Amino acid sequence: MQRLSERQQEFALALLDAARAAPPGLVGPDGLPSPRRFAVYRNNVVAGLIETLKENCPAVHRIVGDEFFRAMAGQFATANPPRSPIMLDYGAGFAEFIDGFEPAVTLPYLADVARIERAWIEAYHAADAEPLSANDLLAIDQDGLARVRLALHPSLRVTQSQFPALTIWRMNVADGEPAAVDLEAGGEDALIVRPGADVVVHQLPMGAAAFVRTLGAGKPVVAAAIAALEAAPCFDLRAILTGLIEAGAFIGWSLEQDTDGAPS
């Protein structure tokens, strides 16, 4: 008799590969093989994963339509089954898959829309934290500001696109209404953060994505500002910093030499 591990090995392989025959010895009530019955499991697994991706990517689903989405998500799911029983985490890598998905090549912004949706889901389930207010930062003197390191909110995500991906995303969620978009109109970067109960999506001005990413790498404000200026010569540090504080992007600060990250 086959060992249980071998039985589950062949069962699992056949679930994810529709070209494989159902494993032997899986029978109906008459004791005879029943591929149709095995197909129920195959369908449950793949349809369940597609449904999870659909729930997490409503805009991508709306843009491409149900049939296209199911075909695309099904290919992703069978090649990339979940690695964890926590299905909240499922869908990492879907945007990168879309990047390489040949039939979607006429929708070059689609993967970036998927990145926004992935960031939204991650922000939704991220750890809770109380954001810093502008008052919390009053204690820093102007000279010290450049040396300050700012700790990002655990829910904070940044996405970048060379297309108006954020505009397209907004038109395709909730009661948004799709309209013609000029794909040459320039890129859009987004900040996705959940400072309190709700996930909020902001458009970032040019250079701000580099600024936030550099802060996120643990670098001080001065280094982040240099990175931002390289990306966008017209970068306005004061306006960006104010906007980020208002968005609840930060949860703590420290001076460069400090080891204690909490504000006094």
The total number of residues written for the chain in this structure = 264
For the segment 171-230, give every residue that binds other proteins (CB under 8 A). Answer: 194, 197-198
| Spatial contact of 193 and 134, defined as CB atoms under 8 Å apart | no
Q: Give the pair of three-digit tokens for residue 127.
A: 């750890």
* The two three-digit tokens of residue 230, written as one number: 């390289």
Q: Is 93 in the site for other proteins (CB under 8 A)?
A: no
Instruction: Kindly state the number of chain residues that form the binding site for other proteins, as judged by CB under 8 A.
Output: 52
Could you tell me which residues come within 8 angstroms of residue 60 by beta carbon, excluding any fewer than 6 positions away?
69, 98, 110, 113, 114, 117
135-138: long-range contacts, CB 8 A cutoff, minimum separation 24:
136/253, 136/263, 137/245, 137/253, 137/263
User: Which among 92, 16, 84, 31 has a CA at the least distance from the CA of 57?
Assistant: 92
CB of 84 to other proteins, least distance (A): 6
Give yes or no for a contact between 190 and 120, defined as CB atoms under 8 angstroms apart. Answer: no
Q: Does 31 bind other proteins (CB under 8 A)?
A: yes
Nearer to other proteins by Cβ, of 54 and 147: the residue is 54
Among 62, 71, 74, 81, binds other proteins (CB under 8 A): 81
Using CB under 8 A as the binding rule, whether residue 34 contacts other proteins is answered as yes
Tokens of 170: 């907004």
Residue number, 19 or 197, with CB nearest to other proteins: 197
- Tell me which residues in 35-64 interact with other proteins (CB under 8 A): 35-38, 40-41, 44-45, 48-49, 52
Please say which residue, 26 or 71, places its beta carbon nearer to other proteins. 26
Tokens of 94: 């879907």
Cα separation, 209 vs 159, in Å, equals 8
Q: Which is nearer to other proteins, 8 or 242 (CB)?
A: 8
Q: Does 25 bind other proteins (CB under 8 A)?
A: yes
Q: Among 76-84, 206-214, 223-231, 237-245, which window interacts with other proteins (CB under 8 A)?
A: 76-84
| 74 is a contact residue toward other proteins (CB under 8 A) | no
Assess 82 for contact with other proteins (CB under 8 A).
yes
The tokens 């936030």 sit on which residue? Answer: 212
Residues that bind other proteins in the complex, under the rule CB under 8 A: 1-5, 7-9, 11-12, 15-16, 24-31, 34-38, 40-41, 44-45, 48-49, 52, 81-88, 90, 124-129, 154-155, 194, 197-198
